[in-house]
């Protein structure tokens, strides 16, 4: 089971993607760096994790509807 807030998961995804973009831009300037390869594998683990989710159960949608639903839609768009 995974119990997660849409806002927390979106924040984590955006942080990881930001790190990946920074690492890719630094890798382009220094192609012999081994650190970029290790960090890229770590940042792609979140995307791999989301793609492995097979079913989603959204509980208390009435509470979520009072919040910004854009966070929930963002998470659902990034799932397979």
Name the residue ranges covered by the structural domains of the chain. Answer: 6-79
pLDDT at residue number 34: 44
- pLDDT tens digits, one per residue of 8-51: 888 888 888 787 777 878 776 655 444 444 444 454 566 667 77
CA 31/CA 56 separation, integer angstroms? 40
* Per-residue pLDDT at 29: 61
User: For the whole model, what pTM was predicted?
Assistant: 0.60
For the four alpha carbons of 64, 55, 79 and 39, in that order, the dihedral sign comes to positive
């Amino acid at each position: 089971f995974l119990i997660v807030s849409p806002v927390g998961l979106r924040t984590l995804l955006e942080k990881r993607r930001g790190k990946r973009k920074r690492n890719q831009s630094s890798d382009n300037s220094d192609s012999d760096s081994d650190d970029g390869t290790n960090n890229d594998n770590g940042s792609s683990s979140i995307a791999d994790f989301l793609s492995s989710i097979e079913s989603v159960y959204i509980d208390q949608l009435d509470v979520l509807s009072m919040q910004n639903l854009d966070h929930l839609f963002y998470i659902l768009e990034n799932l397979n």
